[in-house]
Structure 1
Amino acid sequence: MPSFPPLETVCKKRFPFSMACPSFVYPAGYTDNVRHLAPFVDEIELLFFESRFADSLPSRSMIRELAQLARNGGITYNVHLPTDIRVGHRDAGVRQTAVDVLTRTIDRCAPLDPTTFTLHLERDRSEPDDRRWQAHTAESLEAVLANGIPRRCISVENLGYDFELAAPVVEKLDLSVCMDLGHLMAHNKAITAFFDRWRDRITIFHLHGVDGARDHLPLDRLSTARMVRVLELLDRFCGVVSLEVFSFEALNASLSHLLDRWSGLTTEADHRA
């Protein structure tokens, strides 16, 4: 097993929410990352961004190994579904490929009992008509749901476009929501308003630093004012918070910054009481 430096901050069972991080922090595969990260967090976000590679999906034996690592390490998983698919594409063949990829990924990961499957609904240019895109998207996802996955196990993530375009699909199919705070802040959207709009459906936060339009940065790159607003939302949330940064250095800095700021928040609350 490769040897990598350990994180400096233990955030396991330190918050009222589950602290999560991605499965690609160290330059290694899923199992080595899980072994090194499990002592420090409550949950690991398994990333399956690219479906076009033949080995992009773990083998069934690796899934069994990941399940054993979860039991041994006292962690859970959430799954980020592939992002290189288009469930709302104008072409029916492209949509069917997307359905097949999602169905295969969900089926393969089901033994891990993920807390949620996070889904990108890309608003691509192949279908300029919003209503047709929504109808195609809903039709594709109905085909995925027909395989038996509970509807609230799929969490639709907000991306760069106005999330209200996805709202009819989310509400019609009774899906959950993945609130990516970094995406919202990078596009100068109000995070509190988004949370209040979707709070009954939000299962997971994606959290990362933002500098202008750049996101997925260490959390300490957030301005003080933005960090205060983030902490106010975290104080109202008991789901999963995944720090979506993709290197040891960025995760190490982010965990330390979050715990330091959270400790300050709880101390202030004790003083107010």
Structure 2
Amino acid sequence: MNRYPFRLGTSSYIIPDDILPNVRYLAGKVEDIELVLFESDEFSNLPSPEVIRELVALAGEHGLTYSVHLPLDVYLGSPDRQERERSVGKCRRIIELTEALPKSVFVMHFEAGKGVDINAFSDEERQLFVESLGDSARMLLDGCGHPPEMFCAENLNYPFEIVWPVVEKFGFSVTLDVGHLEYYGFPTAEYLQRYLSRTKVLHMHGTTEGRDHNSLAYMRPEALDMVVEALRKAEGEPKVFTLEIFSEADFLSSCEALERFRG
């Protein structure tokens, strides 16, 4: 299946069904599946022990790995210590739940609170944000059983250099979300040059009608070319190239957009 200079992946929400039917559908089509897990009072998609066993079996049969996206409603950079402890606790529960799965990475968001705009921070608020992330990083890694490089900080809607000191200090890896770079107007070429060597997984998606997480057919061809060319030249293990999209139509048209890179 390895026809590209990367390991092709996508999300566990391609067909309108639960995680297991999605993995069955995707097995043989991709090499890595991003599990987007969440738990709230209203709804939870956390897999049962039986489902985990089935996911392990499917991975063994088809040579799959799973990239586990830690919960989105965690605020590791919150100034409130209690909130940080709650957030780290949620992450640790997902880490324990997915212990048996063959994993490529854990993906994590560095955020300060629901709806908090890190771009609007004063110098003091930015400093507190970085210190708070460091506190959460220590709690997260303490006895978790995984090396820091398994945890990949994802670039969001603020300049990634704000959190880079935390990534560097604790030995984290990077989730380079190229779709976010393009959507928010960050310089994709510079980010590739600066962060690709520390990147384990890339999130790829296009923008249309003011929304991201669409088919690669909507990504600037120049950006897609640039990424694939950079991956061809990259040293070390092939990186995971996750089509971070959420429908079968987007998945199929994204695969079509990648046809010209088959080698």
Instruction: Provide the TM-score with structure 1 as the length reference.
Output: 0.86
- Contact map agreement 1:20 1:43 (CA 8 A) in 2: yes
1:252 aligns with 2:252: yes
For 1:55 and 1:189, the matched residues in 2 are separated by 34
1:213 deviates by 4.6
* Kept in 1: contact 2:5–2:228 (CA 8 A): no
Aligned with residue 166 of structure 2, among 158, 165, 169: 169
Q: Match for residue 51 of structure 1?
A: 39
Say which structure, 1 or 2, has more relative contact order (CA 8 Å, 6+ apart): 2
C-alpha separation in 2, matches of 1:137 and 1:32: 36
CA deviation vs aligned residue, 1:117-164 (integer Å, no higher than 9, x gap):
000112443995111111111111211101222100000000001111
**Cα distance in 1, alignment partners of residues 45 and 20 from structure 2:** 14
Listed one character per residue, the Cα deviations across residues 64-92 of structure 1 (whole Å, up to 9, x for unaligned) are 11101111222111111111110111222
1:155 aligns with 2:152: yes
Q: For the residues of structure 2 that align with 1:211 and 1:232, how far apart are their CA atoms?
A: 24
- The alpha-carbon distance between structure 1 residues 34 and 132, as it changes in their structure 2 partners (threshold 3 A), is same
Q: Which has the larger radius of gyration?
A: 1
Query: What stretches of structure 2 of length at least 5 have no aligned partner?
Result: none
Contact in 1 for aligned 2:7/2:240 (Cα 8 Å): yes
Provide, for residues 32-63 of structure 1, a one-character-per-residue CA deviation record: whole Å limited to 9, x for no partner: 11111111111111111x33246332122221
Taking the aligned partners of 1:123 and 1:42, their CA distance within structure 2 comes to 33
Are the aligned partners of 1:182 and 1:215 in contact in 2 as well (CA < 8 Å)? yes
Identity, in percent, stands at 33
Secondary structure of the corresponding residue to residue 256 of structure 2:
helix
Return structure 1 stretches of 4+ with deviation > 4 angstroms. Answer: none
Query: Deviation at 1:223?
Result: 3.0
After TM superposition, give the deviation of residue 95 of structure 1 in Å. 1.0
Q: CA deviation at 1:212?
A: 7.2
SS at match of 2:50: helix
Is contact 1:192–1:233 with CA below 8 Å preserved after alignment?
no
Note the alpha carbon deviations across 1:8-52, whole angstroms, 9 max, x for none.
xxxx3211311001111011111111111111111111111x332
Q: Aligned in 2, Cα 1:212/1:188: closer, same or farther, shift over 3 Å?
A: farther
Q: What is aligned with 1:262?
A: 261
**Alignment of structure 1 residues 1-273 onto 2, 5 Å:** 12-48=1-37, 50-53=38-41, 55-124=44-113, 125=116, 128=121, 129-146=125-142, 147-211=144-208, 213-237=210-234, 238-259=238-259, 261-263=260-262
Aligned residues: 251
